[in-house]
Amino acid sequence: MPQATVPVPPLPVRQPAYGPHQAPGFMTAVMRIFDLSLGTMLWSRRTIFLGLVVGSPIALGILFRVLEVMGIGNVKVGGSAASGPTVFGGMIWLLYLRFIVPVLGIFYGTALIADEVDDRTITYLFVRPISRAAVLVGKYLAYLVTTVFVVLPSVVILFLLVVPLGHGSLAGSFPALLTDLGLLALGLAAYGALFAFIGAQFKHPLVTGLVFAFGWEQLALALPGYLRKATIAYYLQALVPHAMPAEGLGSVLQALFRDVPSPAVSLAVLFVMIVVLLALAGRIVERREYVLEQ
Amino acid sequence: MTAKTRYFLFGSALIFVVGLSIGVVAYYGGMPQSLFRSGTGPAELGYVPADATVVAYANVRDVMNSELRQRLRTLGGVTDEGRNEFKTETGIDIEQDIDEVVAWMGAKTSSGVENGMMIARGRFDQIRLEAVAREKGARIEQYHGKSLIQGPVEHAEAGHHGRSEMAVAFIEPGVVALGTQSQVKQAIDRPVGKNSITSNGDMMARVAKMADASFWAVGRFDAISSQAKLPEEVTGRIPPITWFSASGHVNGGIRAVVEAEAKDEEGANNLRDIIRGFTALAKMQAGNRPEAKALWPNVELGGDGSKVVSVSFAVSTQLFDAMTASGHAAKKLHK
């Protein structure tokens, strides 16, 4: 007896937005990688380090505030007590721009690709039908969002803690805070792009990054001539809104930085640096053959 | 993106936005000064010695940006002549470079030299200002690591009788002290806040009331009366006053409050009577001109039942317009 055949409806196939045989566009790929990397980056062990680095100025601010409230003492610059805005300006320049921003750039920027290589997971990303440069740019954006969302709120908290010290005025320092926030975001973007390039190009990116940030940049800024133009700090310091302390280390730095580019030039150079360094890093990642150690 | 990541980003953005909002509110003057401040009054009070008898403050930025000043400027009541002259002499543009000024006055020294100093906060190009000073023949020396600009050499050698040589010093980034050489040196020597007026409870209690004023002055009345060299007939008739203060807020017009603290309630009542008398006299004089009567500021006398006598008044922009117009008319008549 012939069996009656029941027509089976075809299983619904989920159609990707870009078609079954079509790779996603560059920006779509960037956003996918960004989405994937953001959570990974934010909840990695590095975040503990990030928290410590960013939390220390806040702890310092609380300490200053407690000392002042208790009448034990106040912050001194060159032997005389400094007002809150001066202390805040010094912390932004010396702690954030000269230390925290480059350090975060080194630890996150150099690891964008290097971490995937070390964990042998780079293959999973590179076998996808997306541009390798999109992987780098997506990870770079995730780095930027992670650091910006941690550093900038910490600066705002520090502002509220430190600026009122010694009769400082929040209102008077507020325009400088806005400049500082923009400056820090720009610094994170510039150092991130530089160290993403170093991470893509060099075999030991962490060491190379540390040598660049705390060796080359310090040396080049101290030397007369044009060498300082090959640093990021040279262009960032032209945008710093705070007057530097009048003596001691601050005075030395001020004397060194007297020859500063105009803000427009600095902004233009920093934007060009970010674009060029990211493009170079993307090109290297596209062309490089990654051999994973067994 | 996981929920945990979303919460983190949301929390971070919230802290950022709340912090910035506090800054915006403070910037536009809507925040009580005492909320985040760790001290009363401007930071420069830390440079004022504890024994200062009169302290005054002006928020130059507020005054310069005020609607009133812009209005007076368009009406020709305010010219740039004085400002330009000061800029040529010192290299400082009052409108652009100075944010706030604190000045103090103390008792005369044993040698009869007047005591006092002005401290200005703003944006000063130290190198340019030093160059301007050198051009004018000033001497620049380093004193405890700070540049001290002293008056021209010939002035110093001439040794003005009873007056000490003036000096300017950049005492901290963005802060300039201008006063007698000895006072400026003392300001550099004295750690900020230590033995300063901020430790003078009587003075600071009065300064605390001046929050949010565009300008104010607080002091002991005996210091003012001795400096003013008032005739005995006047001083003999004024009830004994211990403290005085004056504060004002400038925007479209001026709102001002003048307070005097008498030794006792009886003295305060006498003072109120004198003020009432003067106000009535002025009103009577203005009574002949109805247009002047309409513009007369609303004067309020306060502090009944206490030692403090306060007079508050508001001067509207219309009054300034009328004053400027009458000034122009007088000039035309003079020509």
Candidate from B26, B46, B172 with C-beta closest to A246: B172
3-state secondary structure of A18: coil
- Give the gap in angstroms from C-alpha A66 to the nearest C-alpha of chain B: 10
| A270 has a pLDDT exceeding 60 | yes
Q: Where are the domains of chain B?
A: 80-191, 200-335
Chain A contact set for B40 (CB, 8 A) = 167
Chain-wide mean pLDDT for chain B?
76
Residue A14 lies in a domain: no
pLDDT of residue A17: 54
pLDDT of residue B133: 81
| A145 has a pLDDT exceeding 80 | yes
Please indicate if any CB of chain A lies within 8 Å of the CB of B122. Answer: no
Predicted confidence (pLDDT) per residue in A202-229, tens digit: 888 888 888 888 888 888 877 777 888 8
User: Which of A48, A69, A170, A181 to probe by mutation at the B interface, max B CB count within 10 Å?
Assistant: A170
Please indicate if any CB of chain B lies within 8 Å of the CB of A164. Answer: yes
pLDDT tier, A258 (very low <50, low <70, confident <90, very high otherwise): low
Residue A19 lies in a domain: no
Structural domain harbouring A186: 26-286
Predicted confidence (pLDDT) per residue in B118-129, tens digit: 888 888 878 878
Question: Is the Cβ pair A150, B5 closer than 8 Å?
Answer: no
pLDDT of residue B42: 78
Please indicate if any CB of chain B lies within 8 Å of the CB of A168. Answer: yes
Chain A contact set for B24 (CB, 8 A) = 174
Candidate from A156, A172, A242 with C-beta closest to B15: A156
pLDDT of residue A165: 77
Q: In the predicted model, what is the mean pLDDT of residues A135-151?
A: 91
Q: In the predicted model, what is the mean pLDDT of residues B108-134?
A: 78
Q: In the predicted model, what is the mean pLDDT of residues B20-39?
A: 67
Q: In the predicted model, what is the mean pLDDT of residues B241-253?
A: 83
Q: Which of B174, B247, B167 is nearest to B207 (CA)?
A: B247
Candidate from A35, A150, A174 with C-beta closest to B23: A174
Has the ipTM of the complex gone over 0.90? Answer: no
- Give the gap in angstroms from C-alpha A288 to the nearest C-alpha of chain B: 30
| B158 has a pLDDT exceeding 60 | no
Residue A41 lies in a domain: yes
For B29, the closest chain A residue by CA position comes to A171
pLDDT tier, A1 (very low <50, low <70, confident <90, very high otherwise): very low
d(CA B143, CA A78): 12
Predicted confidence (pLDDT) per residue in B281-326, tens digit: 877 776 666 666 666 667 788 776 678 888 888 877 767 666 666 6
**pTM over the 0.80 mark:** no
In whole angstroms, how far apart are CA A193 and each of A181, A190, A197?
18, 5, 6
Please indicate if any CB of chain B lies within 8 Å of the CB of A138. Answer: no
Residue A257 lies in a domain: yes
The number of C-beta contacts closer than 8 angstroms across A and B is: 132
Token readout for A5 is 């055949």
pLDDT tier, A42 (very low <50, low <70, confident <90, very high otherwise): confident
Question: Is the Cβ pair A80, B24 closer than 8 Å?
Answer: no
Chain-wide mean pLDDT for chain A?
80
Residue A63 lies in a domain: yes
Residue A88 lies in a domain: yes
d(CA B147, CA A102): 34
pLDDT of residue A187: 93
Please give the backbone phi and psi of residue A258, each rounded to the nearest 5 degrees, phi first.
-60, -40
Residue A8 lies in a domain: no
pLDDT tier, A130 (very low <50, low <70, confident <90, very high otherwise): confident
Pairing relationship of beta strands B300-302 and B215-220 according to DSSP bridges:
unpaired
Question: Is the Cβ pair B171, A80 closer than 8 Å?
Answer: yes
Candidate from A39, A167, A245 with C-beta closest to B37: A167
CA dihedral A143, A144, A146, A151 (to 10 degrees): 130
Residue A7 lies in a domain: no
Q: First and final CA of chain A: distance in angstroms?
A: 61
The packing angle between helices B126-135 and B81-90, to 10°, is: 90
Share of chain A above pLDDT 90, in %: 20
Total domains in the fold of chain A: 1
d(CA A250, CA B170): 15
Please indicate if any CB of chain A lies within 8 Å of the CB of B192. Answer: yes
